[in-house]
Amino acid sequence: MEESNNYGHQHPLLLMLNQDQLIHNQSAVTDCSRCGEKVSAPCFCCAEHCGFYLHKVCAEAPLELNHPFHPHHPLLLMQNAPYSSGRYICNFCDKGSNEFVYHCSCHLNFHIKCALFTFNIAENNLKELDHVALQHPLISTENDDEELGDVSKCFGCWEPLAKYTHFSPDCGFNFHEKCAKLPFKLNHGCHRKHPLALQFNNKWLSCKICRATNRKTDRRRIGFVYGCSPCKLAVHIECVSASLDLVVEDKSHEHPFSLFTRRSSFICDACGMEGSYASYICCTCNIMVHKKCTSLPRIIKSKWHDHRLFHKYFLPDEFTSSDCMICHNEVDPEHGSYCCSHCNITFHVHCVTEDKRSYSIVSLENEDEMPNESSIIVIESNDAGEATKIKHFKHMHNLMLGPFDGGYENSCDGCMLPISDPFYYCSECVFFLHKACAELPKMKNVWHELCREPLALISDKVFECAKCRHICNTFAYECSECESKRCFRCVIALTPGARTCSRHEHPLFFYKDYQGHCDACGNLTLGAFCCKDCNFVLHFGCFSLPITAHHKCDEHLLSLTAHDDNNYSESHYCDICEESRDLNRWFYYCAICSTSVHVNCVLGKYPFLKLGSIFEETDHPHPLIIVKKKYYYFDCDKCGKPCEDLSLECSKLECKYIVHLDCVVHYTLRCFLWWRM
């Protein structure tokens, strides 16, 4: 144990050379103050025992790093990333952090450990990794690889670790020994103009050889690649070193494919994507494909559709003008795609297979489809075969098909949107269900979700929707593994195909990767409903806004309105909060009284919570009821302030317990993820 400089800390630091010294000095498990990971010897600790620790490597990290994989600018060590959130995504491991960062002005960011580890790899300083034991080949099965995921693959070439001896540095990266000793520069036939150099693929360029382009799910976009900076070109390490077989058998095609090297690009007949350098040709059928596409599964079960999907090199005539059900762009009938003969719909190969978690391979053509158990039992039907009397498994009484003489001021208990035809109602209690909500199955694959199993229909739970982020206690679909939930509004909105919005004349399509501003509220959104005919955009929350709403500010029903054509400035204010309104943002309006109000002022903070329903609180022994207090404001048992508006009241009158809803609903149900802020 010896003293050292304090590396910016106010107290002297002691160097702990072994783990026994650290354990003796440590009162609890602590994190390094620079990298944020669990501290281990050798490390520095505060001589005054104030809880300050630094890995020796982190403490001695240079303030400026000239990295061979990024030769044009130096990387500067900073305490925080120069962004408003203070957070960053590491361009090597793809993990977020708000600790110390090596940053470049061209928006390249690295954890300390990632920057130093890759520097040693680039400089071939393997002696710096001598503390890492070289391991024997892993013995694993296909199931093991599926469970281990990326941990069982090399961080350089992304091939399974079982194929080669490898080392696993203490910083968490598994590498083949051969990948740690890759040449810094090489010449390759796919790009004869310049040598290729090892570098970071921070521009997320598609591979020149295999053409993989997906940014969110292709794990090979992290780590490093061979690239040519002047030509803005990248090649995966495994594609550079991959051996090319002269003949390849394809299980989904009756003839073998033969290797054909080329200098011009081609369009793969299996996936419809561009390829270059090397292709495989079926001389009998005149089909040209990527090597990786010779192993495409013929039949898959996908999270994007309830029926099996079949791979076709050429679409039948009935699919000629089909659009992909995921990206909504046209599917070329002359090149490969996946299709469903039941529904006459098609998918681009790269869209439906972009993430291995989103589909499974079907080995037998007659394998059973996913069970589609109905939520209702039909008791009576009319002459047209329409169910007029049903029993829904989530309600105790029978339900009748509307119209209902009692009026339409109620909301659907499934989605909490205003009741509209067609719908079912209960004649014995106040319970309503849109026909579309009632007919949703007990188990369902939800589009744009990667949970492995079909989600189960639930009700009467207070939750935060994983999609729209609203706090709800409506019907929802829940994952049995991660327990995340999706409200009915989002499930119905994400049903395949075009969606309609009463405030826009054209059909809308959902684009999960869209980034921009919503035309209804002006907020920035990730994923939105977009119009292919114009530039109209709606995010989740605005797409599901009630068309009409009640509020005590007006005796009439308020209607959702897209634009304010009134030129009088006096009308450009909200009649509830009396603040100004943006003329280009949606608002609620009463044409009789000329009442104009903000959307949020009408709907409030929790528009999708059902009054009178039960809320289970772990801190209270009795069930609580969700109520809306309009008078007799009792003091909250949590914060002591009067309980106005939405509150939770004990179901036992003698208990007199009451709290604000905000004081009880857990913080994690209310907050957005940091990247959505």
pLDDT band at 141 (very low <50, low <70, confident <90, very high): very low
In this prediction, residues 195-203 reach a mean pLDDT of 79
Specify whether the CB–CB gap between 198 and 182 falls below 8 A. yes
User: What percentage of the chain has pLDDT greater than the value 90?
Assistant: 3
The C-alpha atoms of residue 200 and residue 226 are separated, in whole angstroms, by: 8
Where residue 385 falls (left for φ over 0; alpha for ψ -120 to 50; beta otherwise) is left
The runs of H, that is alpha helices, within 499-633 are: 540-543, 599-603
Of 359, 538, 369, the closest CA to residue 449 belongs to 359
pLDDT band at 452 (very low <50, low <70, confident <90, very high): low
The C-alpha atoms of residue 202 and residue 118 are separated, in whole angstroms, by: 14
Return the ∠ at Cα 603 (arms to 422 and 547), rounded to 5°: 35
The C-alpha atoms of residue 272 and residue 364 are separated, in whole angstroms, by: 26
Give the predicted TM-score (pTM) of the model: 0.60
pLDDT band at 409 (very low <50, low <70, confident <90, very high): low
The C-alpha atoms of residue 512 and residue 269 are separated, in whole angstroms, by: 26
Per-residue pLDDT, 214: 41
Model confidence at 329: pLDDT above 70: yes
The C-alpha atoms of residue 109 and residue 111 are separated, in whole angstroms, by: 7
Model confidence at 332: pLDDT above 60: yes
Per-residue pLDDT, 676: 29
CB atoms within 10 A of CB 91: 26
Specify whether the CB–CB gap between 310 and 342 falls below 8 A. no
Model confidence at 453: pLDDT above 80: no
Instruction: Give Cα 282 to chain centroid, integer Å.
Output: 38
151: DSSP letter: G
Model confidence at 79: pLDDT above 70: yes
Name the residue type at position 428: E
Supply the CATH classification number for the domain 299-361.
3.30.60
Model confidence at 451: pLDDT above 50: yes
The C-alpha atoms of residue 418 and residue 603 are separated, in whole angstroms, by: 12
Per-residue pLDDT, 1: 44
Distances (CA, A) of 194 to 188, 221, 461, 533, 645: 9, 22, 61, 43, 69
* Dihedral angle sign, alpha carbons of residues 151, 157, 158, 163: negative
For 613-663, CATH number out of 1.10.3470, 3.30.70, 3.30.60, 1.10.10 equals 3.30.60
Specify whether the CB–CB gap between 32 and 58 falls below 8 A. yes
- Radius of gyration for the chain, computed over Cα atoms and rounded to the nearest angstrom: 30
- Domain 64-129 and domain 299-361 have a common topology: yes
Burial of 491 (0-12, 13-18, 19+ CB in 10 A): buried
Per-residue pLDDT, 144: 40
Helix, strand, or coil (residue 476): strand
Between 92 and 595, the higher pLDDT residue: 595
The C-alpha atoms of residue 210 and residue 278 are separated, in whole angstroms, by: 9
The C-alpha atoms of residue 98 and residue 271 are separated, in whole angstroms, by: 40
Of 587, 565, 584, the closest CA to residue 576 belongs to 587
For 247-293, CATH number out of 1.10.3470, 1.10.760, 3.30.60, 3.30.70 equals 3.30.60
What is the SS3 string spanning 270-288?
Answer: CCCCEECCEEEEECCCCEE
Per-residue pLDDT, 140: 39
Name the residue type at position 455: L
Per-residue pLDDT, 424: 92
Distances (CA, A) of 16 to 12, 28, 174: 13, 15, 27
Specify whether the CB–CB gap between 53 and 46 falls below 8 A. yes
Fold of 64-129: Wheat Germ Agglutinin (Isolectin 2); domain 1 (3.30.60)
Specify whether the CB–CB gap between 235 and 226 falls below 8 A. yes
Model confidence at 294: pLDDT above 70: yes
The C-alpha atoms of residue 392 and residue 414 are separated, in whole angstroms, by: 11
Q: What digits encode the pLDDT tens for the residues 499-508?
A: 887 778 888 8
The runs of H, that is alpha helices, within 396-533 are: 435-438, 488-493
Return the ∠ at Cα 641 (arms to 655 and 608), rounded to 5°: 80
The C-alpha atoms of residue 217 and residue 448 are separated, in whole angstroms, by: 13
Concatenate the DSSP letters of all residues of 154-177 into one string.
-TTT--BGGGS-EE--TTS--EEH
Per-residue pLDDT, 455: 85
Model confidence at 445: pLDDT above 80: no
Domain ranges, ordered by start, for the chain: 13-60, 64-129, 247-293, 299-361, 499-543, 613-663
In this prediction, residues 136-165 reach a mean pLDDT of 55
Q: What digits encode the pLDDT tens for the residues 653-669?
A: 788 888 888 777 754 34
> Using omega within 30 degrees of 0 as the cis cutoff, is the peptide bond preceding 42 cis?
yes
Mean pLDDT of the chain: 78
Phi and psi at 208, nearest 5°, equal -60, -30
Token readout for 93 is: 């491991």
The C-alpha atoms of residue 55 and residue 59 are separated, in whole angstroms, by: 6
Q: What digits encode the pLDDT tens for the residues 456-467?
A: 888 877 888 887
> Using omega within 30 degrees of 0 as the cis cutoff, is the peptide bond preceding 422 cis?
yes
Non-local (6+) Cβ contacts of 243 within 8 A are none
Distances (CA, A) of 443 to 317, 393, 439, 466, 588: 33, 13, 12, 17, 36
In the chain, how long is the greatest CA-to-CA distance? 91
Supply the CATH classification number for the domain 499-543.
3.30.60
